[in-house]
A = this chain, B = another copy of it.
Amino acid sequence: MISVVILGAGNVATHLFKGFKKTNTVSVVQWYNRNLSAIQPYKNLVDITDDLTALKDADVYVLAVSDDAISDLSSKLPFTDKLVVHTSGSIGVYDLDSKNHRGVLYPLQTFSKDTVLDFANVPICYETIHKKSYPILKTLAHGLGGPTKRINSDQRRVLHLAAVFVNNFTNQLYRIGHEITESEGAEFDLLKPLILETAKKVQDISPFRSQTGPAKRNDKKTIKKQLKALENPQHKAIYELLTNAIKKTHGR
């Protein structure tokens, strides 16, 4: 049984708490947040504190706080030679204070406060510069029940970067789809099955193979017509850039 202290009270911290609670390989012995009220609702399930000097002894300290707070919080920890990990995709493992053994437990998923998260669908990427800590980090990651992967910092960097493309940027394309359809009183709802099918397709075949549409076919007539129909200059620029990217990818 691995003992864990969670630090932070955001979406990732809360989902991790709930995820660890369900396993029988990990025990959350304490939950810290500088503002106690945020974790108050959980006080019957776990020991809570807002006092760093009162932190309990544990195998792993999980810093699930905002990127900007990681370095500072790690240097304020009142102990040394313990395993301390953050959960960020973009912060270096060396940004953690060197007085402790350093690592990362990076859940590659989008977290919302109000949606229920099934960790079976959350790949956990783990990384440490203290080699002896790999087994414990692996057990911790496995405990959440989804796929796990030992990665290095370069791989985490590109995964986080790719996540911005497939999640944030994709979501913005959905938003543009919403704007375009509403402009004529058409229903965005009609696009939802297509959105889901597009995401499902690449679960089995590569995005290269699953591409379709006017840009891939280099259907100049349709491309010209659609560019003309776009009134918003930003939408037009995105249309042009992504059409060219598809053409380049598919050798047009």
A residues engaging B (CB < 8 A)? 67-68, 90, 108-112, 115, 121-123, 125, 146-147, 149, 151, 154-155, 157-178, 180-181, 183-203, 206-208, 210-216, 219, 221-222, 225-226, 229-230, 234, 237-239, 241-242, 244-246, 248-249
Q: Return chain B residues, CB-CB under 8 Å to A221.
A: 67-68
Greatest chain B CB density within 10 A among A111, A112, A163, A183 is at A163
**What are 9 A-B pairs with beta-carbon distances under 8 A?**
A109-B193, A159-B181, A161-B229, A169-B239, A169-B246, A178-B206, A178-B207, A192-B202, A199-B200
* In the bound complex, CA of A161 to CA of B239 (Å): 10
- Decide if A157 touches B178 in the complex (CB within 8 Å): no
Q: Return chain B residues, CB-CB under 8 Å to A177.
A: 162-163, 165-166, 207
* In the bound complex, CA of A82 to CA of B1 (Å): 74
Chain copies in the assembled complex: 2
Q: Return chain B residues, CB-CB under 8 Å to A188.
A: 162
The 3 A-B pairs with the shortest beta carbon distances in the complex, nearest first, are: A199-B199, A168-B213, A174-B207
- Decide if B121 touches A196 in the complex (CB within 8 Å): yes
Q: Return chain B residues, CB-CB under 8 Å to A123.
A: 190, 193
Candidates B165, B212, B226, B230; contact of A167 at CB < 8 Å: B212
- Decide if A207 touches B110 in the complex (CB within 8 Å): no
- Decide if A193 touches B155 in the complex (CB within 8 Å): no
* In the bound complex, CA of A121 to CA of B168 (Å): 25
Q: Which chain B residue lies CB-closest to A160? A: B226
Tell me how far the C-beta of A25 lies from the nearest C-beta in chain B, rounded to whole angstroms: 21
* In the bound complex, CA of A214 to CA of B213 (Å): 30
- Give 4 new A-B contacts, CB below 8 A, not counting A110-B197, A234-B241: A90-B225, A167-B195, A192-B202, A195-B199
Candidates B90, B168, B230; contact of A215 at CB < 8 Å: B168
With A109-B194, A162-B191 as known contacts, state yes or no: A237 contacts B241, CB within 8 Å: yes
- Decide if A67 touches B222 in the complex (CB within 8 Å): yes
* In the bound complex, CA of A191 to CA of B42 (Å): 31
* In the bound complex, CA of A174 to CA of B146 (Å): 22
Candidates B110, B178, B219, B241; contact of A241 at CB < 8 Å: B241
- Decide if B249 touches A175 in the complex (CB within 8 Å): yes
Q: Return chain B residues, CB-CB under 8 Å to A246.
A: 168-169, 172
Tell me how far the C-beta of A158 lies from the nearest C-beta in chain B, rounded to whole angstroms: 4
